[in-house]
């Protein structure tokens, strides 16, 4: 049964709303002020909130703001009820993230119509996920029966597969956010969303343990969709709090990239969460792209035409031809941490990283170095004009609430201090195009997994 929370200080209106909604089979909680409303929203997690704007103490705008800032309540659909009909008030409510706005007096049909329209939008996004989970569970039952007969699947794998299904249904997964920092300013301008599994008995399980199996079984589709929905909801909430240029980067698996429903689902997720396409980046690995080049090219082109950014992940590890870099619509290239590791001293890694940064810049791509752990690596990347870094040196991935503190406190990478000021200035001067084109790729480039065309 759909749960609705009514937050309204006028007793008569509150009681009328409760009566009307209960008569239409909704389960209703009603409270008389905003402060209690926020608490009840957190404890009951209603499917929809109807909230008066003008209330003493915490008004409707403050209630909405508080709900949108909390990851648990940020996605609850919200309708304002108000006597105000001024356009400015309406705009303020919608800018804060309200889903609709009813001006009093409204008719029963108007109210029920607004509720039905919002709930059906929400259903459009959650129903396929629920159905997919049910299908996955049914498939697992078949699998268990089959394997009992044929003994084809290892019991460990099967157990993990069953566990993943259960964990998806019971909300044991969480999205962590790892800051991506711009070297020119030291500021966090985006974050990579990384899934974590908080297993009730085994504790934290690394994605390296469960992503490959989820990929093998197809569960990655539901899992990836859940990550997208969670990360987009959270990012929309940060953007509503004022971090307007902030962007989130979400990993797409091989299966997701070849899923014919992908585009449609992403469009739906953006619509429901209110996130602008420009605030979303999708990371695809070389191997995912190479698996089916024509499908990947078409899908990535469509995603890019919506305004979504595309990053090539783990660059250099997938044995992809460098020629393909031109063919795909990438905005960003992520240099894998195996090349970044000890890049200040390892001559092999130095040569590869330098060449990759130059190549990416020549193709107009932003470059992110992954897995930056030391000051020496950072110094080298700065010298080579790498655009952004991500790594334990600045911060590992953090839960949403901890990452939010980074944004709120303006955590940033400290400016270079070890090198002399003059050498810094020289190192940070942009390279001329001529200089760039005169660079050649080192001979050990090919032996590192790259095929240069
Ligand atoms: P990835 O996409 O290459 O993500 C970067 C990984 O490097 C993350 O591991 C991150 O925690 C780790 N990392 C970041 N900075 C450093 C550093 O300075 N040093 C070292 N040693 N490691 C660092 P994580 O979170 O364990 O994820 C592992 C992989 O699992 C990811 O590699 C990605 O391929 C996959 N994964 C994680 N979340 C998702 C997801 O939501 N969807 C999909 N499809 N894959 C995911
Ligand atoms: Ca990634
Ligand atoms: Ca990576």
Q: What pLDDT is stored for residue 150 in this prediction?
A: 62
As a whole number, the mean pLDDT across the chain is 85
Is the CB–ligand 1 distance for residue 391 below 6 Å?
A: yes
Buried b or exposed e, range 337-350, using 16+ CB within 10 angstroms = bebbbbbbebeebb
pLDDT above 60: residue 324: yes
Is the CB–ligand 1 distance for residue 314 below 6 Å?
A: yes
Is the CB–ligand 1 distance for residue 21 below 6 Å?
A: no
pLDDT above 50: residue 434: no
The 10 Å Cβ neighbour count of residue 371 is: 18
Residue linked to tokens 């009603």: 30
CATH code at 172-448: 3.20.20.450
Q: What pLDDT is stored for residue 330 in this prediction?
A: 96
Q: Where are the chain's structural domains?
A: 3-106, 172-448
Q: Which has more pLDDT, 73 or 350?
A: 350
Record the tokens describing residue 230, joined without a space.
């969670």
Give the residue-averaged pLDDT of 55-70: 88
Q: How far is the CA of 396 from the centre of ligand 3 (A)?
A: 13
Give the residue-averaged pLDDT of 200-229: 91
Alpha-carbon distance 428 to 423, whole Å?
Answer: 9
CB 288 within 8 A of CB 252: yes
Give the residue-averaged pLDDT of 213-240: 91
Q: What pLDDT is stored for residue 166 in this prediction?
A: 82
Residue 129 phi/psi, 5-degree rounding, is -65, -45
Which of 257, 256, 172, 193 minimizes the C-alpha distance to 221?
256
Atom of ligand 1 nearest to the CA of 373: 18
Q: Which has more pLDDT, 132 or 285?
A: 285
Record the tokens describing residue 39, joined without a space.
């608490």
Q: What pLDDT is stored for residue 249 in this prediction?
A: 98
User: Burial, 238: exposed, middle or buried (Cβ in 10 Å; 0-12, 13-18, 19+)?
Assistant: buried
Q: Which of 21-25, 84-88, 422-426, 444-448 has the highest mean pLDDT?
A: 21-25
Q: How far is the CA of 311 from the centre of ligand 3 (A)?
A: 10
Q: What pLDDT is stored for residue 84 in this prediction?
A: 67
CATH code at 3-106: 3.40.50.2300
Give the residue-averaged pLDDT of 152-157: 66
Percent of the chain with pLDDT over 70: 83
Record the tokens describing residue 205, joined without a space.
């399980």
pLDDT above 90: residue 147: no
Q: How far is the CA of 174 from the centre of ligand 1 (A)?
A: 14
The 10 Å Cβ neighbour count of residue 382 is: 18
Q: What pLDDT is stored for residue 453 in this prediction?
A: 26
> Closest residue (by CA) to atom 4 of ligand 1?
194
Q: How far is the CA of 194 from the centre of ligand 1 (A)?
A: 6
DSSP notation for 230-291: HHHHHHHHHHHTT-TT-EEEEE--HHHHT-TTHHHHHHHHHHHHT--GGGEEEEEEHHHHHH
Alpha-carbon distance 302 to 190, whole Å?
Answer: 22
Residue 199 belongs to what H/E stretch?
A: strand 188-199
Alpha-carbon distance 192 to 366, whole Å?
Answer: 15
Alpha-carbon distance 269 to 211, whole Å?
Answer: 22
Q: Which of 56-70, 152-166, 409-423 has the highest mean pLDDT?
A: 56-70
CA atoms 169, 167, 199, 148: torsion sign: positive
Q: What pLDDT is stored for residue 104 in this prediction?
A: 82
């Amino acid at each position: 049964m759909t749960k609705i929370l009514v937050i309204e200080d006028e007793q008569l209106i509150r009681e009328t709303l409760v009566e009307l909604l209960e008569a239409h089979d909704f389960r209703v909680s009603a409270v008389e002020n905003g402060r209690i409303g926020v608490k009840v929203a957190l404890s009951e997690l209603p499917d929809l909130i109807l909230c008066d704007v003008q209330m003493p103490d915490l008004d409707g705008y403050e209630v909405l703001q508080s709900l949108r800032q909390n990851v648990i309540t940020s996605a609850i659909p919200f309708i304002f009820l108000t006597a105000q009909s001024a356009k400015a008030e309406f705009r303020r409510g919608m800018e804060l993230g309200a889903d609709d706005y009813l001006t009093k007096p409204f008719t029963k049909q108007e109210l029920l119509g607004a509720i039905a329209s919002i709930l059906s939008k929400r259903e459009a996004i959650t129903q396929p996920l629920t159905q997919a989970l049910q299908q996955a569970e049914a498939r697992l039952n078949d699998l268990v029966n089959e394997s009992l007969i044929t003994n084809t699947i290892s019991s460990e794998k099967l157990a993990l597969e069953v566990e993943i299904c259960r964990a998806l249904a019971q909300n044991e997964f969480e999205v962590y956010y790892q800051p991506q920092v711009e070297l020119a300013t030291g500021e966090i301008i985006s974050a990579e969303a990384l899934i974590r599994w908080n297993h009730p008995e085994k504790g934290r399980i690394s994605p390296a343990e469960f992503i490959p199996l989820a990929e093998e079984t197809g569960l990655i589709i539901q899992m990836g969709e859940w990550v997208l929905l969670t990360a987009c909801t959270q990012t929309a909430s940060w953007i509503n709090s004022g971090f307007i240029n902030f962007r989130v980067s979400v990993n797409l698996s091989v299966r997701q990239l070849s899923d014919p429903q992908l585009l449609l689902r992403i469009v739906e997720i953006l619509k429901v969460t209110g996130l602008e396409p420009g605030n979303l980046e999708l990371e695809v690995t070389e191997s995912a792209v190479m698996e089916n080049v024509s499908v990947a090219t078409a899908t990535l082109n469509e995603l890019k035409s919506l305004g979504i950014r595309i990053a090539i992940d783990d660059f250099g590890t997938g044995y992809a031809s460098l020629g393909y870099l031109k063919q795909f619509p990438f905005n960003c290239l992520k240099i894998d941490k195996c090349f970044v590791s000890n890049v200040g001293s390892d001559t092999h890694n130095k040569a590869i990283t330098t060449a990759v940064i130059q190549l990416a810049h020549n193709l107009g791509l932003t470059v992110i170095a992954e897995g930056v752990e030391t000051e020496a690596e950072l110094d080298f990347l700065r010298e080579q004009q790498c655009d952004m870094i991500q790594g334990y040196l600045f911060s590992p991935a953090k839960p949403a609430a901890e990452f939010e503190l980074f944004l709120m406190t303006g955590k940033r990478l400290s400016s270079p201090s070890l090198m002399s000021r003059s050498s810094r200035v020289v190192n940070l001067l942009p390279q001329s195009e001529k200089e760039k084109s005169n660079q050649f790729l080192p001979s050990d480039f090919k032996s590192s997994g790259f095929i240069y065309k």
